[in-house]
Amino acid sequence: MIETERLLLRLPVADDAPALTEAIVDPEVMRYLGNGETGGYDDVVEQIAALRQGWEADGFGRFVVVRREDGAVIGRVGLLAWDPVEWRPGLRSEIGDSAEVELGWTLLRSAWGAGYATEAARAVAGWAGREVSCRRLISLIHPDNVRSKRVAGKVGERFDSTIVTHRGVPAELWVL
């Protein structure tokens, strides 16, 4: 668990599914994530189970972001391992030492513009520096996602190159 001035970052639990579904059904939230497709409640339930498996296998993963003032779940921020050959996400324990570790964030649209993504991403980057052995942190950002590029810059990341994911989607590689 990580606490910041306004946020609590904790492991995901099944009860988070309704709040996180609000993000995954929103076309604007999903616009630059993956292949841009929206999902539903069942997808979120599967994602939470996968997130928990990632934590167990690798010792890191994505946190659920809770606003401290009202206890509202407003998204998720955390780490995800990528195979840098195919640019496919997976478990670092399966990818091996070549795995890149991504710092990523997804917030409900109602939480945009308040600095929560930056606050949470900075906290996770600091935690990763202390708790996760990796040579660097990266963020994969869709070239048109100006908001996420702004967060990456505030966290201290800088543009490195452009890659294409296993789904054929271009992404800018930002590095911390």
User: Which amino acid is residue 122, in one-letter code?
Assistant: R
Cβ 67 vs Cβ 6: under 8 Å:
yes
What is the rounded average pLDDT of the residues 92-101? 95
Percent of the chain with pLDDT over 70: 100
Cβ 105 vs Cβ 148: under 8 Å:
yes
Count of CB atoms situated within 10 Å of the CB of 132:
15
Domains and CATH numbers, the chain: 2-175 (3.40.630.30)
Is residue 124 over pLDDT 90?
yes
Confidence of residue 49 (pLDDT cuts 50, 70, 90): very high
pTM of the model: 0.93
**Mean pLDDT, rounded, of the chain:** 95
Q: What is the pLDDT of residue 34?
A: 80
CA distance 4 to 2: 7
Q: What is the pLDDT of residue 35?
A: 79
Q: What is the pLDDT of residue 20?
A: 94
Strands 73-83 and 62-67: antiparallel
Could you report the per-residue pLDDT of 25-47, keeping only the tens digit for each?
Answer: 999 998 888 878 899 999 999 99
